[in-house]
């Protein structure tokens, strides 16, 4: 969730729309995929191969690779290090 939304202020206009698993997600300019998804209430970005457990953002700064998603067909891109672009197609892994 957004800071401003919780503090009862008007949220800055969402001005980037991208796609996650075929659904449109609103983001703000300068958002990363991770910050936009968390703001939209999505916690789990993928399921693990072996145990099938959900994973999301952990380190938030590009170290742990737990938040990886597929971006425009490229697998295992760190959501926390990748800025959203209009029309970007993100798939969870």
Binding residues (CB under 8 A) for another protein: these are 1-4, 6-7, 9, 12, 28, 30-32, 34-36, 38-39, 43-45, 48-51, 53-66, 68, 74, 76-77, 80-81, 83
- C-alpha dihedral sign at 75, 81, 87, 91: positive
Residue 19 or residue 70: which is nearer to another protein going by CB?
Answer: 70
- Smallest gap from Cβ 14 to another protein, in A, equals 12
Q: How far apart are CA 49 and CA 9, in angstroms?
A: 41
Alpha carbon distances (Å) from 67 to 5, 10, 14, 33, 72 = 24, 29, 22, 10, 16
Shorter beta-carbon distance to another protein: residue 19 or 28: 28
- DSSP label of 34: H
Residue 24 or 68 having the CB closest to another protein = 68
Say which residues have a Cβ less than 8 Å from residue 44's Cβ, sequence separation at least 6.
54, 55, 56, 92
Residue number, 34 or 88, with CB nearest to another protein: 34
The minimum distance between CB 38 and another protein, in angstroms, equals 5
């Amino acid at each position: 969730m957004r800071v401003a939304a919780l503090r009862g202020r008007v949220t800055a206009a969402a001005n980037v729309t991208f796609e996650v698993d075929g659904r449109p997600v609103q983001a703000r300019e300068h958002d990363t995929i991770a910050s936009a998804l968390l703001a939209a209430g999505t916690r789990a970005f993928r399921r693990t191969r072996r145990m099938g457990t959900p994973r999301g953002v952990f380190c938030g700064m590009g170290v742990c690779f737990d938040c990886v998603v597929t971006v425009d067909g490229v697998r295992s891109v760190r959501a926390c290090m990748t800025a959203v672009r209009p029309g970007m197609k993100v798939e969870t892994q």
